[in-house]
Structure 1
Amino acid sequence: MTERLSLTEGAKELIRELVNKHGDLMFYQAGGCCEGTQPQCFEKGGYYPRYNDAMIGLAEGFEFWIDRDLFEYWQYSHFTLDVLQGFGPGGFSLETPLGKTFKVHYRLFTESELADLAPVIRSL
């Protein structure tokens, strides 16, 4: 089965650091401007997905949700969660005080990947 989400080693290391400080996590990527243009990391339960948002996979065991409208646009793309040094456009995400920001790299699935694509989970 083709997974919709993967992580760089840097993202994995940062997630482990955040888990040590905050406990269980969750990720959400909205489709709006500013903060919504990059994935946000919250303590689990710190953000509630909207009706019909899509959970595309797990980031080190933690749910990675995408805004329903953004998912419709990117549904044929693989997401790679990465981390960059520096501050993103805002400060809501847990990595901000560490001087880091999560970023997603996208690429289109190949035809063979699309034929065996992992299903998404939709929020109710």
Structure 2
Amino acid sequence: MISRLDITPKALQLVEELEQKHGPLMFYQAGGCCEGTQPQCFEKGGYFPRMNDVLIGHIKDYEFWIDRDLFEYWQYAHFTLDVLDGFGPGGFSLETPLGKTFKIHYRLFTPQELENLEPVVRNS
């Protein structure tokens, strides 16, 4: 099965740092509003996905949810979690006090990949 989600080594290093400081984590990427579409990292249970939001995969063992409307737009794209120096538009994410911000790189799946994608889970 083809994964919908990946992580860069630099972002993985930050996730491990946040994990040591905060314990189990979770990720949520909204479709707009005050946090823009920046992926947010929370302590596990620190954010509650809405009905029909989509679990697209895991970073380590941590769930990565995206907004249901954002998924409709990006369902044919692979997500790669990366990190940049600086502050993103939201500031609610655990990496913000470290002067970092998570970012997603998107690429469209090939026709062959689309035939064998990992299934998603919708929040009910």
TM range (shorter): over 0.9
Q: Is the 8 A contact 2:39 2:103 kept in 1?
A: yes
SS of residue paired to 1:37: coil
Which residue is equivalent to 1:116?
A: 116
In structure 2, what is the Cα distance between the partners aligned to 1:90 and 1:80? Answer: 19
Runs of 4+ with >2 A deviation: none
Aligned to 2:24: 24
2:86 equivalent to 1:79:
no
TM-score, normalization by structure 2: 0.98
Distance in 2 (alpha carbons) for counterparts of 1:54 and 1:80: 16
SS across alignment from 2:26: strand
- The superposition leaves residues 98-122 of structure 1 with CA deviations (integer Å, 9 ceiling, x where unpaired) of 0000000001000000000000011
Distance 1:34 1:9 in 2: 28
> Sequence identity of aligned pairs in percent?
73
SS in 2 for 1:56: strand
Which residue in the other structure is 1:40 paired with?
40
2:72 pairs with 1:66 = no
Post-superposition shift, 1:61? 1.2
Structure 1 stretch displaced more, 4-13 or 83-92: 83-92
Question: Where does residue 11 of structure 1 map in the other structure?
Answer: 11
Provide the C-alpha distance between the structure 1 equivalents of 2:114 and 2:94, rounded to a whole number of angstroms.
33
| One-letter amino acid of the structure 1 residue matched with residue 48 of structure 2 | Y
Unmatched 5+ stretches in structure 1: none
The structural deviation recorded for 1:15 is: 0.3
Unmatched 5+ stretches in structure 2: none
Counterpart-to-counterpart distance in 1, 2:55 and 2:114: 17
SS at match of 1:89: coil
Shift of 1:37: 1.4
What is the rounded CA distance, in whole Å, between the counterparts of 1:105 and 1:18 in structure 2?
Answer: 21
Q: Are the aligned partners of 2:38 and 2:90 in contact in 1 as well (CA < 8 Å)? A: no
Aligned residues: 124
Mapped to 2, the partners of 1:113 and 1:33 lie a distance apart of: 31
Give the root-mean-square deviation of aligned CA atoms.
0.7
